[in-house]
Amino acid sequence: MEGLYRRVSPYMLSILRLMTAALFIEHGGQKVLGFPPMTHQMPMNVIALASGWIELVGGALLLIGLGTRFAAFILAGEMAVAYFIVHAHGSFYPVVNGGELAVLYCFVFLYLWIAGGGPLSVDALFRGKHAETESAPSRESRV
C-alpha cells in the first residue's frame, strides 16, 4: 500500500489545490460579480472589493496552477488578515466567532505555498516535468 500512497500523493496535492481554488473563487465571485448570490448582506467597501479581487484572481491562478506558490502565499496572508479584522474580535474560538473557514483556508494556502501545485498544474508544464515530485528522495538514496 505504501507504494500506492507514494504514487498517488502528488496527484492528491493537485486535487486539493483544484478543489480549494474552486471553492475559494466563489467568495471572490460573490464580492466582485454578485454571483453566487450572498445569503447575508455584506457591506461593500474598498476592503471588501479588494479582497474580492484577490480571491477571484488568486483563486483562478490556483485553479490552473500558475504561480501557485506566490498566489498561495498572498491568499494565506489575506485569510490571516480577514480572520483578525472580521472574526477574532467575536471570540477567542474560531468555531464561535465564525472564523474557522478563514483559518482552514489560511493553513491550506500555507501548505500549497510550501508544496507547490502538484503535477496537474501549469507550473509543472512550464518545468517540462512533474517538478514537485522530483525533489523526493529516490529509492536508492534512502537505502
Q: Is the peptide bond before 37 cis (omega within 30 degrees of 0)?
A: no
CA distance 93 to 40: 22
- Tally of CA atoms within 13 A in the half-sphere of 90 that contains its CB: 14
Res 41: pLDDT: 77
Q: Which of the residues in the chain have pLDDT under 50?
A: 130-132, 134-135, 138-143
Amino acid 30 reads Q
pTM for this prediction? 0.85
